[in-house]
A = this chain, B = another copy of it.
């Protein structure tokens, strides 16, 4: 009997690593022992260990690099964005739900950002804004990255890791859609304008204004996206 819970070996390994980080035995940047050694150490097979790593990878706890090893990830700035989950079998309605969620959360983080951002963080955001402005005229290539970076810095300066994590996930899910919007030079110009307004409110430490501008910005993105979705139906694989 006793089917209460037979913990899988894989899950045990995940817990082991997680606890190691929690109690400080493992720190961000640390390299774990090789698969060979760790599997012997924990008494599980390499296959099981790799499944656990796969899970930890997806949770963003570790990063695996062939030829180098497996590392505890630091909570670094938006360094590794692409690696996360793609997964887009979304219909239009779910895209709209994603955007609605983003509007709600990001409007609030913009507001919190006004209250909590350090001067250094504001400077960093300014630098990104500057790069975006210069970028928008010539190089649309990296504009989308800067756009996302702007939003993520804002969210980070809001000092709430839960909201940040949620926005990171939403960002990944909406990444392709955002790119499409920004491919249009006019869309990029508009985005710049909104970003400047948000930044201005941030400098003035005006939460309500920042919230309003962010909402206007995302509403604009939403409208553009709706237009695009109405005219193009294909969902590229």
Pick the residue among B58, B77, B100 that contacts A162 (CB under 8 A).
B100
Is there an interface contact between B89 and A160, defined as CB atoms closer than 8 Å? no
> Do B173 and A89 have beta carbons less than 8 Å apart?
no
Number of interface residues of A (CB under 8 A): 50
CB pair A81–B169 under 8 Å, yes or no, is: yes
Closest to A60 in B: B86
Name the B residues within 8 Å of A104 (CB-CB). 104-105, 108, 163
User: What residues of chain B lie closer than 8 Å to A172, measured between beta carbons?
Assistant: 80
Chain B residues contacting A83 (CB-CB under 8 Å) are: 58-60, 169
A10→B97 CA distance, assembly (Å): 30
Instruction: List residues of chain B with CB within 8 A of the CB of A98.
Output: 77, 162
Cα distance, A61 to B87, chains bound together (Å): 8
List residues 82-117 of chain A with CB under 8 A from any CB of chain B.
83-90, 94-95, 97-98, 100-101, 104-105, 108
Q: Can you sample 23 A-B contacts with CB below 8 Å? A: A10-B54, A22-B237, A23-B237, A47-B50, A50-B51, A51-B51, A51-B54, A54-B54, A54-B55, A59-B87, A61-B86, A75-B89, A76-B94, A77-B95, A83-B169, A84-B165, A88-B162, A97-B161, A97-B163, A98-B162, A101-B163, A101-B166, A104-B163
